Amino acid sequence: MKLDVDVLRYLSKDDFRVLTAVEMGMRNHEIVPSELVDRIARLRHGGTYKVLKNLLKHKLLHHDSSKYDGFRLTYLGYDFLAIKTLVNRGVFTAVGRQIGVGKESDIFEVAKEDGTILAMKLHRLGRISFRAVKSKRDYLVHRSSYNWLYLSRLAALKEYAFMKALEEHGFPVPSAVDCNRHCVIMSLVQGYPLVQVKQLQNPDMVFEIIIGLIVRLAEHGLIHCDFNEFNLMIDDNENVTMIDFPQMVSVSHRNAQMYFDRDVDCVFKFFSKRFNLFFEEITDECDESDSDMNENGRPCFSSIAKSAGSLDKELSASGFTRKDQDDIEKEELSMMGGNKEDDMEENRHSSEAVECNGPETSEADEKVDDQDLNESDDELMKRLNKQRRRAIAAAHGGRRALASRNSYKDKGGKTSHNSKIQKQLSGW
């Protein structure tokens, strides 16, 4: 679907309010009922249904009446919500031409107020060219139900986190600017995709730089998993930039060696075919030496030492488990010395506290939680008493106190008979 931002000029606050209402309803509905959209949007005088017709005209929503009358967001509607939010933040002020398209994303130029050009990447999972996301990617983790918009949002958040961390550690990647929903804003790379380059002045040097990036990523605990000529940018000075990071995994992943060897194979095959570089026949087994290269000059996954950092731990990359974290802590303690058992016990308790209270929980928060135990008991008693009163009220009324399904149809300040019964029950 073509992104036509001119429609944004004619959308009012009510239009975006209804779009947001549909987005909120899609958290637990595949198709959001019309009544639910109306209740969430809370527009006066039945204005929701008029706005829905306008959004349908611009294809920002899709109407489905197979089982019941409802709506769902299209990718174009999701694009408008993300663009509107980023424009309000002042990230950019204009959207330009489309500069790239892939199997799971579209890339556009955007301009800031001062004229700086950035790149906007819109993730669009679910295209016919790439629908095996559940088996090829691990965005869902333990979840079983999903929709394509939610998967696109997870992919964007993951890519933004990886890009930000790699930039801080000095990797040649675009600068991450901002992220909202399925949209990632980054700096525009002044170069060309390597797949479009037919000739290089120093192909040997470029090849060594690219292979060095694969090894350096592995030393930091990460594997790109899609490291090929389509995801490498090169400028006129033959400087290389990596792009596309949602599929990155940890070196502790069960298929880490396969992914690492596949990335290396892609680079070797491309340079041998495109630039006629000669490589000796590749052997399956690596040399058991201390170097990172085997006798053919090929990187060996088993000999790469994970010593430059643990980005997979910081970013919770796929494949990094609790056991790997304990092993790293043991190695750090052995290097620092001291009483290992006491330190390991303290780390174990602190990690359990992080799992229970979230990643930002501190020791001060734990002390506050201990002091608030008595208050939580009082709140629990209040909740129990409140539930008991509701049960008594429901028993007197002969049924549960539920709102009327037709209460949204009341007009002129009049209340329905069911709503009057509800008020009587609430007064018990």
Which one, of 259, 263, 261, 262, lies nearest residue 242 by Cα? 263
- How far are the Cα atoms of 8, 79, 115, 177, 192 from residue 87, in angstroms, in the given order? 11, 12, 14, 13, 28
372 catalytic per annotation: no
Which one, of 256, 194, 255, lies nearest residue 222 by Cα? 256
Across 46-68, b (16+ Cβ under 10 Å) vs e yields: eebeebbebbeebebbbeeeeee
Q: 64, 138, 178, 226: which one is catalytic?
A: 226
d(CA 331, CA 187): 38
Q: Which two structure tokens, joined as six digits, stand for 130? A: 């790439």
Q: Is the distance from CB of 271 to CB of 222 less than 8 angstroms?
A: no
Q: Which two structure tokens, joined as six digits, stand for 377? A: 């008991």
CA atoms lying within 13 Å on the CB side of residue 54: 17
Ramachandran category for residue 21: left, alpha or beta (phi over 0 → left; psi -120 to 50 → alpha): alpha
- How far are the Cα atoms of 248, 263, 277 from residue 270, in angstroms, in the given order? 21, 11, 9
Which one, of 201, 159, 205, 200, lies nearest residue 179 by Cα? 159
d(CA 133, CA 247): 10
Residues 6+ apart with CB under 8 A from 404: 416, 418, 419, 422
CA atoms lying within 13 Å on the CB side of residue 325: 17
Residue 73 burial (C-beta neighbours within 10 Å; 0-12, 13-18, 19+): buried
Phi, psi of 311 (to 5 degrees): -65, -30
Residue 395 burial (C-beta neighbours within 10 Å; 0-12, 13-18, 19+): exposed
Return the ∠ at Cα 25 (arms to 20 and 27), rounded to 5°: 105
Which one, of 146, 174, 150, lies nearest residue 160 by Cα? 174
Give the catalytic positions in this structure: 226
